[in-house]
Amino acid sequence: MAKNSAIRSTRLERPKSLTELVKDHVRSRITNGELMLGEALSENVLAAQLGISKTPVREALLQLKLEGLVDIQPQRGSFVFSLAPDEAAEMCQYRVILESAALRDALANDEAGLIDALEQNVKRMARAVSDGDIPAYRRLDTEYHRHILARANNRFLTQSHQQLEMKIQALRARVTSKERTVGDSLAEHQNIVKLLKTHERTKALNLLGVHIRAASRDYQIILQEQARGRERKSG
């Protein structure tokens, strides 16, 4: 009887469709910095690279448009999203508001669990920096902020943050290739944990805001450089 019950509870995972596979592939290339912001996305080229028809590619790009990672322009084609410098600043200010609220709630809900998770995370971050593994550092950076959102236990905060997260990853991929920026970023993450451990919540919240706004300045510099590059090419 127990055996039959075990069989009935077994579930087979549905294999991903071609559209889902293409979406994951293109999303990964955008967020890891392989595809540049504003870069054209050819359905023909992508289909040829992946050895498939254009239909799942077109469907995948439409879904990525809903995620905000792809811009589809009538009569022109599809492009990786891009931001103006002032848009990046506004996005990061919105992120400060979200993550500050999330940190307050996370501390109220599970202070010990949050501190332990962040402490383990920054240890892995430090190892990644020591090993020169910048892709791993970027993944851990994303994970660090997810710990805060997860322990806030507010689905609407989480959903709002998820809408920004992929764009943040794409921008971060262009910033953390610089050793100085990685070192500064690691120190800020570590210092937030130290402040939380000594119950200096206000200082931790202030440093979280400083940390996100520092990233905002880096993003704006990158976007300005990219805009000047496009102007030189068009000129």
Can you give the CATH number for the domain in which 42 is found? 1.10.10.10
Considering only 26-30, 145-149, 153-157, 221-225, which range has the smallest mean pLDDT? 221-225
pLDDT at 228: 76
Query: Are residues 40 and 97 located together in one domain of the fold?
Result: no
Domain boundary among 40, 62, 80: 80
Reply yes or no on whether the pLDDT at 7 is more than 80: no
Does residue 70 fall inside a structural domain?
yes
pLDDT tens for residues 163-193? 888 998 888 887 755 556 788 999 999 999 9
Q: What is the pLDDT of residue 144?
A: 97
* Residue 195 structure tokens: 């402040």
Q: What value does the mean pLDDT take over residues 125-151?
A: 94
Do 99 and 28 share a structural domain?
Answer: no
Task: Please indicate, yes or no, if residue 31 is contained in any of the structural domains.
Answer: yes
Let me know whether 114 and 75 are in one domain: no
- Confidence band for 215, pLDDT divided at 50, 70 and 90: confident
pLDDT tens-digit series, residues 143-154: 999 999 999 999
Q: Are 217 and 102 part of one and the same domain?
A: yes
Contact by Cβ (8 Å): 80, 36: yes
Contact in structure between 47 and 57 (CB atoms under 8 Å): yes
pLDDT at 24: 95
The reported pLDDT for the residue numbered 14 is: 62
Among the three residues 80, 95, 121, which one is the final residue of a domain in this structure? 80
Compute the distance between CA of residue 207 and CA of residue 93 in angstroms, rounded to an integer.
Answer: 14
Q: What is the pLDDT of residue 191?
A: 98
What is the reported pLDDT for 179? 59
Q: Are residues 22 and 134 in the same domain?
A: no
pLDDT (0 to 100) of residue 12: 55
Establish if 1 belongs to a structural domain: no
The sign of the dihedral angle between the CA atoms of 107, 111, 116, 117 is negative
pLDDT, tens digit, for every residue of 76-121?
A: 999 999 988 899 899 999 999 999 999 999 999 999 999 999 999 9
99 in the same domain as 42 = no
Could you say which of 80, 107, 123 is where a domain stops?
Answer: 80
For residue 2, being part of any structural domain is answered with no
Kindly indicate the confidence band of residue 214, based on its pLDDT and cuts at 50, 70 and 90. Answer: confident
- Decide if 167 is inside a domain: yes
Domain count across the chain: 2
pTM listed for this prediction = 0.79
Residues paired with 70 in a beta bridge: 80
**130 and 226 housed in the same domain:** yes
Q: Is 154 a member of any domain?
A: yes
In percent, the amount of the chain with pLDDT more than 70 equals 89
Same domain, 126 and 218: yes
In a domain, 3, yes or no: no
The secondary structure element, H or E, covering residue 171 is: helix 155-175
* Phi and psi, residue 78, nearest 5°: -110, 145
Looking at the structure, do residues 92 and 174 belong to the same domain, yes or no? yes
**Residue 89 sits in the same domain as residue 180:** yes
Q: Is 67 left (phi over 0), alpha (psi -120 to 50) or beta?
A: alpha
Average pLDDT over residues 208-218: 89
Mean residue pLDDT across the chain = 89
The CA–CA distances, whole Å, from 230 to 36, 37, 89, 115, 174 equal 12, 11, 21, 44, 17
- Tell me the mean pLDDT in the region 8-24: 77
Report the CATH number at residue 196.
1.20.120.530
Same domain, 42 and 120: no
Which tokens hold the place of 128?
A: 């990644």
Give residues with Cβ within 8 angstroms of 107, minimum separation 6: 114, 196, 201
Band of residue 200 on the pLDDT scale cut at 50, 70, 90 = very high
Is the domain of 114 the same as that of 64?
no
pLDDT of 5 strictly over 60: no
pLDDT tens figures, 48-61: 999 999 999 999 99
Is residue 10 scored above 80 in pLDDT?
Answer: no
- pLDDT at 18 > cutoff 80: yes
Give residue 24's domain range: 8-80
Backbone angles phi, psi at 77, to 5 degrees: 125, -165
